[in-house]
Amino acid sequence: MIKYNDTEYQCSMELTLDIIGGKWKVLILWHLGKGTLRFGELMKTLPKITQKMLTQQLRSLEETGLINRFVYASVPPKVEYSLTDTGKSLLPILENLRQWALDYIEKNKAIL
């Protein structure tokens, strides 16, 4: 049993999935791993995400300390997102997942 932020988890994987699980968070982290992006740039890299969903996912990633949000004092407002050191620590894991997918495709061409 793991307790984190007043939530009890049965195992560490449950906590991991709570932090980075879902369809969009890993993709957002992956794209931010290539460098700082503005909101509109993230929207372009994830064409199937809605503005509301992207906003929610970015807020969640910011709350968990995986991304930084920097707001410039300009009109219209300019907001940039980047990975924190904790977010960057996920990049080798995400690269391993990417490679796993490529290997999976190669090994299963006959059934896919």
User: In this predicted model, what pLDDT tens digit does every residue of 69-101 receive, in sequence order?
Assistant: 999 999 888 999 999 999 999 999 999 999 999
CA distance 52 to 24: 12
The DSSP string of the chain is -EEETTEEESSHHHHHHHHH-SSSHHHHHHHHTTS-EEHHHHHHHSTTS-HHHHHHHHHHHHHTTSEEEEEES-SS-EEEEEE-HHHHTTHHHHHHHHHHHHHHHHHTTTT-
pLDDT for position 6: 86
* Mean pLDDT of the region 27-32: 98
The gap between the terminal CA atoms of the chain, to the nearest Å, is 39
Q: Which CATH architecture has domain 2-107?
A: Orthogonal Bundle (1.10)
Residue 109 banded pLDDT, cuts 50, 70, 90: confident
Q: How confident is the model at residue 44 (pLDDT cuts 50, 70, 90)?
A: very high
Mean pLDDT of 9-17: 93
**Overall average pLDDT of the 26-41 stretch:** 97
Per-domain residue ranges of the chain = 2-107
Mean pLDDT value of segment 9-33: 95
Two tokens, residue 38:
């503005």
**Confidence grade of residue 111 (pLDDT, cut at 50, 70, 90):** confident
User: Residue 5: pLDDT band by 50, 70, 90 thresholds?
Assistant: confident
CA 34/CA 32 separation, integer angstroms:
5
